[in-house]
Amino acid sequence: MAFFTRPQSANAAIKIVRPSSGDDDQLRPSRKDSVQRQCRNIMIYGSCKFENKGCAYYHPPAPDAVSIAPRAESPSKGLSQSVNAPVFIPKVPAHIKTASTPPPSIATPPPPEPQYHHDNQQQQQQPEEYGEYPYPPVGDEEMEMHDINSNNFYADTPYDGYDPSTANPYFASATPFLRQPLNYHLYSSVIPSAFVNSITDTQFVPPSSELRTLLQSRGEDLHIAPAPGLNLPEELQGYHSLIPLENTNGASERRKFGNWTSTVYRAVNSIDGTVYCLRRIENYRLPHQAAFTAIETWAKLQHSGIISIHEAFTTHAFGDSSLVVAYAYHPKAQTLFDAHLKSAYGTRGAGGFQPIPERTLWSYIVQLAGTIKRVHDAGHVVRMIDVSKVLVTSKNRVRISSCGIFDVLLYDTPQDTHLLQQDDLTMFGRLLFALCTGNVMASSGGNFQKSLEVMGRLYSPEIKAVALFLVNKGGPHKSIGQLLEMISSKVAAEMGDALDAADTMENELMGELENARLVRLLCKFNFINERPEFAREPRWSETGDRYIVKLFRDYVFHQVDESGNPSVNLSHVLACLSKLDSGTDERIMLVSRDEQSCLVVSYKDIKACIESSFSELARAGSSTTAASGYR
């Protein structure tokens, strides 16, 4: 037991007494009075976990250690830890909770006021003092708890089951663990996969194969160049590249807008570069500039069922005085007439009419009813509920266009808002009759009874009841709110379909989220590899970090099968790039092309090599701004 004997120095033992008013440094022994060799754990790590477990070397107390009251159940051990613990300087200010009052049998000095240091240089040097960890080594129990919780990126609390009353007094002044934001490299499904697989075709979102084709066709439509020989103005109040969206060969082909002739164009705004839809009213002279106040009012009314208004102006660029109203442009949009009724009129009557599914028809009714209610609640009138003015912008998604134009055209005409809102309901009923029968004149005179028979044969009685409620004169108190009460169950079903569509679109977006980051990685690869001219060193890309990057490029893209044929495996490429972007600790073996060199490295090391090499190129490049854009 001679190995564990107490030191022979007179000052090696520490007498525990209540400190006097003098400097408490007198209570601590100095190193020069000790005859023992100082423990190397103190010199390297700052503390020794075997200090009270038999370590025979000298453990000097920290000069600025904060004295913390020991635990009641272990007085001697707690006091030893508080005296000999290394200096702990938190990075951010924290409120210190002192430990419970010690037993009266132990005299402990009152804890001094904690001193917080914010010197950046000292914070930067602190990780070097303790190796890889920014804080001093901790006990086995604390380290085990940290290892369990450090990889939990989704924990809502600092530690599961953490109780401050049972914490080690050594960590009384430590900064609590803050939950880090979600790491962008963690792939997770937004909604359960079973739910996604069950929804193959929602009410508003087409299948994945059709959705990609639809989005690509919309992007192509936005960049179509105008055909030559259209005889249209090259510039129109800041708009250019005009393309007609309707047939303009003859006056009979152009659609009427009340008593005026109207034409629709697609044009690009020179100021913001956005594509807009321009509706032109021919041969119209604006009576008062104040008529445009209606356009300003409609521009402030934003709703998902209304094509938003951008601006309105008059022009003589077409050779006459025309009114032009700019609306938001929805690529590949169709009117209800073109989507559902045009085929019937192209086959001699209603013989070629394909009945609209009742679920789709209810969707149209709910969407249009909600839009009309929003307009009526704002004190306006729609007056555009027609098969040629309601657009189908995506799958079963309808919006009302050309709003606000009648307010400008009939600015001088006295108007009763309540009566016009009743007319909106009547127009809504006529639209419903037309969609159910395939005839735009279904609700007129002699066609009314026949239309009711067709509706009763093709659709449920609820559809027929809604149509009759809208076209009949129910008195001055009939409102769109009463219609919504009648179809409340259909509104709930529509809400469920809309939520399913949102989940499906979010899941589709999740699959495309990582593309931009992978492209940036590929750009860095191409910047680093095969650059023999850099720094006048022909083998710059063959040495140091660049050599590892080159070998990893071969590992990702130049794989071969057992027969020596090229292996084109996109899954392997995406998996490797994703692991590289996250910097995982997984190790891979990189082999040179001549099979004379073999390196075992982790994705974390490869990522560091890429960042180092790219940073070197960015600093040496002539355009620092262009290089930093790829980081």
How many residues belong to the chain? Answer: 631
- What region does 179 belong to: left with phi over 0, alpha with psi -120 to 50, or beta? beta
Alpha carbons 78 and 14: distance in angstroms, whole number: 15
Does 218 carry a binding-site annotation?
Answer: no
The residue type of 49 is: K
Helix (H) or strand (E) holding 148: helix 140-150
Sequential DSSP letters for 35-52: -SPBPHHHHHHS--TTTT
Does 285 carry a binding-site annotation?
Answer: no
Helix (H) or strand (E) holding 257: strand 256-257
What is the CA 228 to chain-centroid distance, rounded?
Answer: 42
Does 32 carry a binding-site annotation?
Answer: no
In 282-335, DSSP assigns E strands to: 309-315, 322-328, 334-335
Question: Contact 320/282 with Cβ under 8 angstroms?
Answer: yes
Alpha carbons 507 and 28: distance in angstroms, whole number: 64
Nearest CA to 301 out of 374, 351, 370 is that of: 374
Q: Which two tokens stand for residue 289?
A: 């500039």
For 402-514, where are the alpha helices, taking DSSP H only?
405-409, 417-437, 448-458, 461-471, 480-486, 488-511
Cβ–Cβ contacts within 10 Å for residue 400, how many? 22
Count Cα atoms within 13 angstroms, Cβ side, for 126. 19
Q: Which two tokens stand for residue 44?
A: 């390297």
Mark the binding-site residues for ATP, compressed into ranges. Answer: 279, 388-389
